[in-house]
Chains A and B, each alone.
Chain A
């Protein structure tokens, strides 16, 4: 009907769809605690007493099989909804392992790729198909295993490395096979004893992918010389040799470079290694990398300028698919955090960003070392089992096995996060250098970043050349499959590697080769000041939806630092939205609120091929340096930037945000967007907010919905998904702008019975708040005919994502009209697997003059919806704008 309505007019329309969802996880976790955890009884009792019928029967227990490092399987049962860390902790308990931060659990996805189980996500959301089979593995290979506190930890690391060697993942020479093999034998069998050991005792063990008699004989020869060596000593020797191997702890990923050449990307403790066949053709130490990101199947690293360069450069790699790109990105995020940071950066929970919230949430190496130094237990006794199990069948996955990370659900992500990175132990001098440089170049920090190239304050003679090279590089990376004419592999490398000018006649002395991160420290300030500090690195995912990049990324384009002032000023002056904003701010600082700021950006420039840079601009300008120290301070700025934001206090941590823009152009006429109160910059369509904290009067429709909530709440057993639809339409003479706002509230509750009571739901007339409907009429000829849809979706909470659509209990549609709007409320109830859902969709169609502030309307609608449904969360927001004669259905 909405569409029909639209078709009557030559209209511009904007549809907003917002899904809100209750944090289900907390409920289920709670329930699990009731069963399994005595300690948590207290906290659970209130809920328990309120819902006595909610049964234990509903808790699904899954059997998990974990293949341990010694090749044995450990089977245990866990509740289906527990998070990954529960499983991990149980396995570590079973293994008597305290220094567990180096380890992780892997599972195979549908493509048989190994993924790391995310400890902070529910198991069931990670294991989509197949049996619940896992493997326990080393995730972060300590560069110096002798610093591990306990022998038992080293033992497990040895087991992992033995498998790495036998499988071929860790290539070694014949000599190394004999050495490692001999220590393995000593560790497992003890001293060589011809009386006790059969003559072929060594043949039962596996040391190499292709084990020969000659190898076994050499191993035996060495073994004979180790008399008296304890197993722990043998393992220490094993590790001292293994850690020197060039592929120790390198996690390889297949990729192609910009010219389509097959390469491998290796993630390790020190950074990112680039291999072509077995040759290392490049290396990017973590300090050299400013930002890692991915988009679709592309993986990007942004490189700090070298010693004599002015410009950052971005290098792109093609991964086999999106999932592979994301896996690689996550592995990088985790390795960088673990090995380079003192403490993990906070996930972008409160602070808004589009896209993956994934961050490494465990302890860093520095933290785990500190923690392990507190271990006071006596060295635990443990049995070293025979390595017989290292037979070929165990290593069928071959030499190029890749560890990969958990797939998130959302398709498109942008993460904007800036970390104040501190190098852990080594390179203190580097830090000092950096600080010194920071002090020396204060003006650099104030430099406004220009696109991808941060201008140096003193351009050298090579500047132009470098710029050319880099832009060529960029072009070739960003254009699909483009070649780089005139740039050889070496030139490319050189362009990101500083050229050292020969020292003229000064007497040469032995001097340390400056580590690159030091040598480029002067530029750290220039490019890092606005973003991430001396060792900062931004971990970004960009939207993978094709349609997205031309939208939001362009939007980013206008986020110049000076807009901050503009915005903060605005937030003071503007009356209604300002008030909202304040409350939202409060909500954010209370860590309670959810803030979604939508911006309909008209774009000043087309930025195709510049996604990286614009994205980075966004980061730079949006996130001030003091990000870590005071997030609240950043709020006005963030709102000013109109960043997309979702708060996990409402949306569970597992969720992601998805944004789709179905149009390559974001051409909402600026003039069309002049806000009601005339305070907003005409260049910016204003943002919208969601906040649970906001208290203003609600429309009748929402009140009705609230009633629904109460009713069902009283029933306890009901699970509800409210779908709340509110349509407003408004029409004016010249330009017709249709504004559809659709909100979905999802509130599934676990119930013990399938009976559902349907509360009566009287139709109500929509009475949009003045903020929504108020329209300033303005004569503007319709010029453009295009549509755009943006979807912000909390994918994890979308219960409709399940294959089982459930049983429809009821469906109800209420439509009401005012002079300018049409509001349709659509309520459906379904029962699915013991969970009844009530979904309320509210669609607001505003058809009217271009001057309507759609964003404000959306903000208001969301706000009202939220305050009426505090138990629910936004799960989806769809914004559909039509500036077309033939409108189309906007909601997806």
Chain B
């Protein structure tokens, strides 16, 4: 039976990308910090290993590109929902070319490719929160109204609501999905404000999981065969208080994943992979 909007969190594939040495010096960051590339690579390898080995996803690894210091953060280069992939136009000019390799990879996965060609539009995937029933697009330094409009055109089935990103780089810097109908949200005032707006804009009801640290609210949810609810989240070393909150999710398989280095260049857990369900609607 064909059904729409079913299977939230079902993934079969993940697209990831290596870390170029240029990340240490040239990757964009909101606050100055020294990045140890070797450490970052180890961290990323561990992340990819979780996806591949522990979770059994088919991982497509794109090679790092030295001319694209931020290229490891593949989430920003595309938005995939169902069998449609919207290739974005990242807000940071230095990141625009990251989409090329992503587009190729998604094409190879037989997704319907929609490209954002409008030169007035910018959109980072990190500003796009898909809840399973609708999209929220954060209007941020990286994402504008036009970008959100194009996303709405690409995914016509869903309501696309714009919400302000009052603080932080992306919408998903302080929130993400923790399960079907469960929004994980940071406890800062801007985060809560944004959540209020999302709530007002939505026809659907969500539960929320408030974590003390905004950055800890960025986690990766999957619903995988034989594993059920899976949540990749921050480690106790990084955000001990927030981890205590995640540990209250009794139905989830909890996988702490370190993100100490990548966070220095504003990278969250969701940023480092593009998750795809190749069986969507088929």
Within 8 Å by CB of A172, from B156, B195, B202, lies B156
- Kindly state whether residue B205 has any CB partner on chain A within 8 Å: yes
Q: Within the assembled complex, what's the spacing in Å between the Cα atoms of A288 and B280?
A: 37
Other-chain residue from A245, A279, A509, A511 in contact with B145 (beta carbon distance below 8 A)? A279
Q: A270-B203, A279-B148, A507-B244 are in contact. Are A499 and B192 (CB under 8 A)?
A: yes
A270→B249 CA distance, assembly (Å): 31
Task: Count chain A CB atoms within 10 A of each CB in B2, B195, B197 and give the residue with the most.
Answer: B2
Given A280-B159, A500-B195, A173–B189 Cβ distance below 8 Å? no
B78-116 CB contact bits vs A (8 Å, 1 = yes)? Answer: 000011100000000000000000000000000010000
Contact B245 A244 (CB under 8 A): no
**Would you call B160 an interface residue if the criterion is a C-beta within 8 Å of the partner chain's C-beta atoms?**
yes
Contact with B along A162-186 (1 / 0, CB 8 A): 0000000001111110110010000
Q: Which residues on the A side are within 8 Å of B193 (C-beta)?
A: 494, 499-500
Q: How far is the CA of A178 from the CA of B1 in the complex (A)?
A: 12
**Is A801 an interface residue, CB under 8 A from the partner?**
no
Cα–Cα distance between A490 and B193 once the two chains are bound (Å): 11
CA separation between A541 and B189, bound complex, in Å? 39
- On whether the beta carbons of B281 and A179 are closer than 8 Å, the reply is yes
Within 8 Å CB of B196, what residues of A?
A: 497-500
State whether A512 and B205 are in contact (beta carbons under 8 Å apart), knowing that A173-B84, A244-B157, A500-B195 are contacts in the complex.
Answer: yes
Residue A282 at the chain B interface, CB threshold 8 Å: yes
A493 interface residue per 8 A CB criterion: yes
Q: B152–A277 contact, CB under 8 A?
A: yes
Q: Which among A278, A493, A499 is the interface contact of B149 at CB below 8 angstroms?
A: A278
Tell me if B210 and A503 are in contact (CB < 8 A): yes
Q: How far is the CA of A706 from the CA of B1 in the complex (A)?
A: 76
Please tell me if B134 contacts chain A, counting CB pairs below 8 Å: yes
Give complex CA distance A736, B106 in Å: 88
- From residue A429, how far is it (CB to closest CB) to chain B in Å? 12
Tell whether A175 pairs with B82 under 8 Å between CB atoms, given A281-B161, A512-B205. Answer: yes
Give the chain A neighbours of B33 by CB distance below 8 A: none
In the complex, which residues of chain A have a beta carbon less than 8 angstroms from the beta carbon of B210?
502-503, 508, 511
Given contacts A175-B84, A497-B197, A500-B195, are A508 and B209 in contact (CB under 8 A)? Answer: yes
List residues of B (242-267) whose CB comes within 8 Å of A's CBs: 244-245, 248-249
Q: A494 vs B190: C-alpha distance in the bound complex, in angstroms?
A: 11
Please state if B208 and A510 are interface contacts (CB–CB under 8 Å). yes
Q: How far is the CA of A862 from the CA of B160 in the complex (A)?
A: 58
Looking across the interface, which residue of chain A has its beta carbon closest to that of B193? A499
Q: Which residue of A lies closest to B154 (CB)?
A: A173
Do most interface residues of chain B lie in helix, strand or loop, or is the interface mixed?
mixed
Check: A254 CB closer than 8 A to any chain B CB: no
Residues of A within 8 A of B195 (CB): 500, 513
* Residues of chain A contacted by B244 (CB below 8 angstroms): 507
Interface-lining segment among B18-26, B66-74, B180-188: B180-188
Question: B45 within 8 Å of A by Cβ?
Answer: no
- Select which of A172, A237, A498, A499 is within 8 A of B1 by beta carbon: A237
Does the CB pair A499–B157 fall under 8 Å?
no
Whether the pair A175, B83 counts as a contact (CB closer than 8 A) is: yes
A81 sits at the interface (CB 8 A): no
A280 near B162 with CB under 8 A, answer: yes
How many angstroms from the CA of A282 to the CA of B148 in the assembled complex?
14
Are A513 and B206 in contact, CB atoms less than 8 angstroms apart? yes
A798 and B98 CA atoms in complex are apart in Å by 71
Which residues of B sit under 8 angstroms from A510, Cβ to Cβ?
182, 207-209, 248-249
Residues of B within 8 A of A276 (CB): 145
The reply to whether B157 and A176 form a contact with Cβ atoms under 8 Å apart is yes
Q: Is residue B200 contacting chain A, with contact meaning CB distance below 8 A? A: yes
| B153 touches A (CB below 8 Å) | yes
Q: Which residues of B contact A499 (CB under 8 A)?
A: 189, 192-193, 196
- The 8 A CB mask of A262-303 against B (1 = contact, 0 = none) is 000000001000001111111100001000000000000000
If the complex has contacts A241-B4, A508-B245, A510-B182, are A490 and B156 also in contact, measured as CB distance less than 8 A?
no
Knowing A175-B4, A246-B157, A511-B208 touch, does A494 contact B152 (C-beta < 8 A)? no
Tell me, yes or no, whether A833 is within 8 Å of chain B by CB. no
Query: Nearest Cβ distance between residue B212 and chain A, in whole angstroms?
Result: 7
Closest Cβ of chain B to A390, distance in Å, is 19
Does A703 interact with chain B (Cβ within 8 Å)?
no
Q: Which of B5, B207, B212 contacts A511 (CB 8 A)?
A: B207
Q: Are A172 and B157 closer than 8 Å at their CB atoms?
A: yes
Residues on the B chain within 8 Å of A760, using CB: none
In the complex, how many angstroms separate the beta carbon of B199 from the nearest chain A beta carbon?
Answer: 5
B155 within 8 A of A: yes
Q: Which residues of B contact A222 (CB under 8 A)?
A: 2
Kindly state whether residue A374 has any CB partner on chain B within 8 Å. Answer: no
Contact of B82 among A173, A507, A511 (CB under 8 A): A173
Whether B201 sits at the interface, judged by CB under 8 Å, is yes
Is A199's beta carbon under 8 Å from chain B?
A: no
Chain B neighbourhood of A513, CB < 8 A: 183, 195, 199, 205-208
Residue A210 interfacial (CB < 8 Å): no
- Which residue of chain B lies nearest to A250 when distances are taken between CB atoms in the complex? B159
Chain B residues, Cβ within 8 Å of A179: 2-4, 281
Which residues of the partner chain B approach A1 to less than 8 Å between Cβ atoms?
Answer: none
Interface positions of A from 54 to 73, Cβ below 8 Å from B: none
In this assembly, does B211 line the interface, its C-beta being within 8 Å of a C-beta of chain A?
yes
Q: Digit string of B23-38 for contact with A (CB within 8 Å is 1, else 0)?
A: 0000000000000000
Q: How far does the alpha carbon of A511 sit from the alpha carbon of B244 in the complex, in Å?
A: 16
Q: Are A278 and B2 in contact (CB under 8 A)?
A: no
Known contacts: A245-B157, A283-B202, A497-B200. The answer to whether A490 contacts B164 by CB under 8 A is yes
Cβ-based interface call for A393 (8 A): no
Say if the beta carbon of A515 comes within 8 Å of chain B: yes
Residue A568 at the chain B interface, CB threshold 8 Å:
no
With a 10 A CB-CB cut-off, give which of A182, A244, A508 has the most chain B CB atoms. A508
Q: From A280, which residue of chain B is reached at the shortest CB distance? A: B161
- A308 to chain B minimum Cβ distance, whole angstroms, is 10
Residue of A281, A502, A515 with most chain B CB atoms under a 10 A cut-off: A502
Inter-chain CA distance A511–B2, complex, in Å, is: 32
Q: By the criterion CB–CB under 8 Å, are A246 and B211 in contact? A: no
Closest to B1 in A: A237
Cα A328 to Cα B69 with chains together (Å): 52
Q: Does the CB pair A508–B211 fall under 8 Å?
A: yes
Q: Per a CB cutoff under 8 Å, which of B156, B162, B189 touches A279?
A: B162
Fill in one digit per residue for A670-681: 1 if any B CB lies within 8 Å of its CB, else 0: 000000000000
Closest beta carbon of chain B to A239's beta carbon, Å: 12
From A171, A277, A283, A512, B200 is in contact (CB under 8 Å) with A283
Cβ of B216 to closest chain A Cβ, rounded Å: 11
**Alpha-carbon distance A241/B4, docked complex (angstroms):** 6
A176, A245, A280, A514: the one contacting B201 at CB < 8 Å is A280
Contact B188 A502 (CB under 8 A): yes
B112, B149, B157, B207: the one contacting A277 at CB < 8 Å is B149
Q: How far is the CA of A282 from the CA of B5 in the complex (A)?
A: 23
- Report the bound CA distance from A724 to B97 in whole Å: 84
> Is A372 an interface residue, CB under 8 A from the partner?
no
Residues of chain B lying within 8 A (CB to CB) of residue A281: 161-162
From B2, B5, B188, B207, contact of A512 by CB (8 A): B207
- What are 30 residue pairs bridging A and B, where the CB atoms are less than 8 Å apart in the complex? A172-B157, A173-B84, A173-B155, A174-B84, A174-B112, A175-B4, A175-B84, A179-B2, A179-B3, A244-B5, A244-B157, A246-B158, A246-B159, A278-B152, A278-B160, A279-B137, A279-B145, A280-B160, A281-B161, A490-B197, A493-B200, A499-B189, A500-B196, A505-B212, A508-B210, A508-B245, A509-B209, A511-B208, A513-B206, A516-B200
Interface residues of A (CB under 8 A from B): 171-176, 178-179, 182, 222, 237, 240-241, 244-246, 270, 276-283, 288, 490, 493-494, 497-503, 505, 507-516
A246-B134, A494-B197 given; name 17 further pairs at CB < 8 Å. Answer: A182-B2, A222-B2, A240-B3, A244-B133, A246-B158, A246-B160, A270-B203, A280-B159, A497-B197, A498-B196, A502-B192, A508-B187, A508-B209, A510-B207, A510-B209, A511-B207, A512-B205
Q: Which 6 A-B pairs have the closest CB atoms?
A: A246-B159, A278-B152, A508-B210, A171-B156, A280-B161, A490-B164
